[in-house]
Amino acid sequence: MGDQLDRPVRDLFFGRDDAEHDFADGLLRQGFQRTLAYEAALDGRKALVIGRKGSGKSAICAQLAHGGVHPGPTAPIAPDDAAGDEIRRFDLQGLTSDTAKSLIWRYLFAVHAARHVVAHASDGHGRSLRKPAAVRALRDFLKVNGEETEARLTDRLKRGTSRLQSATLSLKMFGVEAGLQTGPAGDGESEFTPSEGARAMRQLEALEAGVTAALDTLGCAVLGHPPLLVLVDQLEYVWRADADSHALVTGLLLATKHVARTYGSAVRCVLFVRSDIYDALNFVDGDKFRSDEMHITWTNPALRELALARASASLRRELTHDELWGGIFPRAVRGEPTADYLTARCLPRPRDAIQFLNLCRDTAWERGHPTVRESDVLAATKRFSEWKLEDLAREYNVGFPFLREVFGLFEHGEHQVRRQDLETRFSAIHAALHDSYADYTEALNARVVIQALFAIGFLGVRRQDSVAYAGSTSLPVQPYEDEFHVHPCFRPALHCTEGVTEPLDDATVLVGTSSRHARERLLRATAASDIGFSRNRDARWIDEMDSIGTRLLRHLARSGLPSATRREVEETLTTALVATGRTANRTSENVDARLRTAINALETLATRLVAEGHGGEPITLRLSDEALILERSLGGSVGGAGSDSLG
């Protein structure tokens, strides 16, 4: 114990970069900070936790899923690339892309709910020899459809997408007989054949009704049994900023709302979404989620508490602030209190603070120092700054692909810059950016770049006697504001000259506010609704034509068309849609001409298939749907949450 006190650096550790490993190591459990977002998710007041990368979303999810804090069962869902591809590829004739993808999410949630009910009927309601009929029906459904045991998410999605598209879910145990198969109406059937989407909807509603019936029979709500908590995290791993990714996330949001309406208090969903992804969504029902939103924000005092809790956990003794910031770490760095020095030089989120603290510790350990010295902190500052500059470029690469080039405008200069000077610098690289990033030229100007740099936390703006950075204010850069400052985090990496600029301090904002919850509410900030740059209309529609062609080829692959007809349709779709993005000529006139050619090709194919007796095939109906989407695009109707949002 004495050696531990003499050489605390040896055992000092502030945690891992990712919540999963952090939880496994035990530091997340022991040093977890109960934020307002965590408590709102635990208590069921909020279903949508939003925050920047590294803000602690996955930490909250891990604590809820594995920390033993939720009294009921939990079902964590974290889609990987393979699972994301399955959802992106899933679509149904007759439904918008958003709605279709909401169905596969609803299927996943229904299967989790069904498995929960079957297990709970035994564990929570006694092990009687004969369970209620509604529970037995759910058990039979799971067994017959291969969902009885735990499975990989990708495998479950493959089963669900295949059966919803082909209407082959076994539902006899719910009193739903056969007759949901797709295809044209046969002899004795109505001339009107339900679409793929209508059939899939009917299957899913039967399953959800079965789950609801079992819950009602058991009376869990009346008995006050805790709900099943479904947790969906790590959507950033399946996000590609394309139409199908928009539909994937939007469909998830719609499915979450549906779960709340369908299962009541018996099943709850909490989603953890990165703020730039959520801000990029644009769909009709977006305003219906405002009451479910909880944005994660961190203050400097909260980050200091996080550091103290984790240091205490790693050293296995309760530390005081004075012991940490004056004993293990130096009391001051360049005349500034060490805790203030560190928090001022990282973005306000736990991952950054943890990485900076660990780097200071590692530097001291490599140098053989028993405690962290001022020289160790200064050496770590430069390296940490280089990490964070590169991480920021990676974080926003999808919507801000030329960020590294923009960083160069600030290198080897003063960290303080005037608007006019920044506009002059930007004009020097403007032509080069247009040549390299032609798809983004519509929004590529200095004013928008300044707004984006502020929103991502790279630039601060002078307001009265202090500098405000994103996270300390919800007000974006105003047209009359003229003085900007590179965030202290990035100055060493860019070799910016230092100067005295007081940041907007938490204490200034929080005067008269003693409650931690009140402080967090007061500091909630959304910086900007759109971080990044939209691609030009022509580039978006070249990609959209490719996506439509790919979707139609998937429908064609499972159609009942004769093989010769299928080959001819495949060749037309590939030529008119899929291959159109491979050519370099993307003038507006050229793109409009391609749109018209594609529309004519789809309409001609649909007319031909109807004439040949294939009018009831889903692929024929889908050809007409997609032609209508492209037709509307010529009038400027562009959906933000997926191509089918136009239909």
Q: Each residue of 438-461: pLDDT tens digit?
A: 777 677 889 989 999 998 999 999
CA distance 102 to 253: 8
CA-nearest of 348, 457, 437 to 395 is 457
What's residue 450's pLDDT?
Answer: 93
Helices 81-89/243-263 angle, 10° precision: 90
Q: Walk me through the domains of the chain, giving residue ranges and CATH numbers.
A: 1-16+298-390 (1.10.8), 36-295 (no CATH), 396-533 (no CATH), 537-646 (no CATH)
Contact 345, 389 (CB under 8 A): no
CA distance 623 to 375: 67
CB atoms within 10 A of CB 640: 14
What's residue 358's pLDDT?
Answer: 95
CA distance 423 to 427: 6
Provide long-range contacts, Cβ within 8 A and 24+ apart, for 400-409: 400/452, 400/456, 400/531, 400/532, 400/533, 401/437, 401/440, 402/433, 402/436, 402/437, 402/440, 402/444, 405/429, 405/432, 405/433, 405/436, 406/449, 406/453, 407/458, 407/490, 407/494
Which two tokens mark 580? 């159109």
- 496: helix, strand or coil: coil
What's residue 308's pLDDT?
Answer: 94
CA-nearest of 525, 633, 638, 536 to 279 is 525
Contact 232, 193 (CB under 8 A): no
CB atoms within 10 A of CB 368: 8
What's residue 587's pLDDT?
Answer: 58
Widest pairwise Cα distance in the chain? 90
CA distance 384 to 571: 53
H or E segment to which residue 483 belongs: strand 483-486
CA distance 365 to 619: 65
What's residue 40's pLDDT?
Answer: 92
* Residue 76 to residues 109, 228, 455, Cα–Cα distance (Å): 11, 11, 31
Query: Positive or negative, the Cα torsion across 231, 234, 238, 242?
Result: positive
CA distance 471 to 524: 7
Strands (E), 316-405: 332-333, 336-337
pLDDT under 70 in the chain at which residues? 1-7, 19-31, 124, 126-130, 177-193, 441, 471-474, 498-537, 580-589, 633-647
CA-nearest of 154, 183, 151 to 166 is 183
Contact 308, 319 (CB under 8 A): yes
